[in-house]
Chain A
Amino acid sequence: MQIIYILWQRQLKRYLRSKSRVIGSLAQPLFFLLALGAGFGPVFSKAGQGNYIEFLVPGIISMTIIFTSIFAGMEIIWDKQFGFLKETLVAPVSRLNIMIGRTLGGATIATMQGTLVLFLSLIAGFRPVSWALVPVAILVMFLSSLLFTALGTAIASKLDDMQGFQMIMNFLVMPLFFLSGAIFPLDRATILGTIASFDPLSYTVDALRHILTNTHFFTLAWDVSILAILTALFLAIGSYFFSKVQI
Chain B
Amino acid sequence: MSIIEVKNLTKKFGDFTAVKDVSFSVEKGGIFAFLGPNGAGKSTTIKMLTTLLTPTSGELFIDGHDVKKNPREVRHSFGIVFQDPSLDDELTAYENMEIHGVLYHVKKEILKERIKQLLEFVELWDRKNSLVKEFSGGMKRRLEIARGLLHHPKVLFLDEPTLGLDPQTRNHMWKYLSELNKTEGITVFFTTHYMEEAERIADQIAIIDHGSIVASGNVEQLKTSTGTSSLEEAFLKLTGRNIRDEDVSKTDAMRMRHQAWSRK
Q: Are B254 and A161 in contact (CB under 8 A)?
A: yes
Nearest CB of chain A from residue B231's CB, rounded to whole Å? 30
Q: Are B82 and A86 in contact (CB under 8 A)?
A: yes
Interface of A is mostly: helix
Say whether B255 contacts A81, CB under 8 Å. Answer: yes
Query: Is B103's CB under 8 angstroms from A160's CB?
Result: no
With A and B bound together, what is the CA distance between A93 and B103 in angstroms? Answer: 7
Complex CA–CA separation, A82 to B251 (angstroms): 10
B49-57, B197-205, B217-225, B235-243: which one contacts chain A? Answer: B49-57
Contact between A86 and B105, CB atoms less than 8 A apart: no
Q: Which of A3, A6, A82, A88 has the most CB of B within 10 A?
A: A82
Residue of B nearest to A17 (CB): B90
> B91 is contacted by which of A14, A85, A91, A246 (Cβ under 8 Å)?
A14
Question: Within the assembled complex, what's the spacing in Å between the Cα atoms of A56 and B51?
Answer: 49
A188 within 8 A of B: no
Asked whether B90 lies within 8 Å of A13 as measured between CB atoms, the reply is yes
- Interface size class of chain B, counting residues whose CB lies under 8 Å from the partner chain: 35 or more
In the complex with contacts A91-B75, A92-B105, A84-B254 CB distance below 8 A: no
B250 pairs with A161, CB closer than 8 A = yes
Tell whether, in the assembled complex, residue A82 and residue B85 are in contact, meaning their CB atoms are under 8 Å apart.
yes
| Max count, chain A CB within 10 A of own CB: residue among B80, B82, B100 | B82
Q: What is the distance, in angstroms, from B163's C-beta to the closest C-beta of chain A?
A: 14
With contact pairs A10-B91, A90-B50, A92-B76 given, residues A83 and B86 touching in the complex (Cβ less than 8 Å): yes
Could you tell me the distance between the alpha carbons of A189 and B91 in the complex, rounded to whole angstroms?
A: 53
Number of A positions contacting B (CB below 8 A): 28
Q: Tell me the B150-204 residues at the A interface (CB within 8 Å).
A: none
* Option from A7, A10, A86, A92 in Cβ contact (under 8 Å) with B52: A86
B104 in the interface (beta carbon within 8 A): yes
Distance to closest chain B CB from A102 (angstroms):
12
- Report B18-62 residues with CB < 8 Å from chain A CB: 47, 50-54
* Shortest Cβ gap from A79 to chain B (Å): 9
Q: Are A14 and B99 in contact, CB atoms less than 8 angstroms apart? A: no
A24 to B65, CA, bound (A): 48
Given contacts A90-B80, A92-B105, A161-B254, contact A84 B51 (CB under 8 A): no
Instruction: Give residues 66-89 of A contacting B (CB, 8 Å).
Output: 78, 81-89
Which chain A residues lie closer than 8 Å to B255 at the CB level?
Answer: 81-82
Which residues of B are found within 8 Å of A88, using beta-carbon distances?
103
The interface residues of chain B lying within 8 Å CB-to-CB of A229 are none
A3, A89, A91 pick with most chain B CB within 10 angstroms: A91
Measured in the bound complex, the distance between the Cα atoms of B100 and A83 in whole Å is: 14
**A83 and B95 alpha carbons, distance in the complex (Å):** 15
A87: chain B residues at CB < 8 Å are 86-88, 100, 103, 147
Once the chains are docked, how many angstroms separate the CA of A10 from the CA of B92? 11
Contact between chains at A247 and B47 (CB < 8 Å): yes
Q: How many whole Å from B92's CB to the nearest CB in chain A?
A: 10
Chain A 46-80 per-residue mask, 1 if CB under 8 angstroms from chain B, else 0: 00000000000000000000000000000000100
> Which 9 pairs between the two chains have the least Cβ-Cβ distance?
A91-B103, A92-B75, A161-B250, A14-B90, A86-B86, A84-B88, A87-B86, A247-B52, A92-B72
21 A-B contacts, Cβ less than 8 Å apart? A3-B102, A6-B99, A10-B88, A10-B91, A13-B90, A17-B90, A82-B85, A82-B86, A83-B85, A85-B86, A86-B82, A90-B51, A90-B52, A90-B80, A91-B103, A161-B250, A161-B253, A161-B254, A246-B47, A247-B52, A247-B53
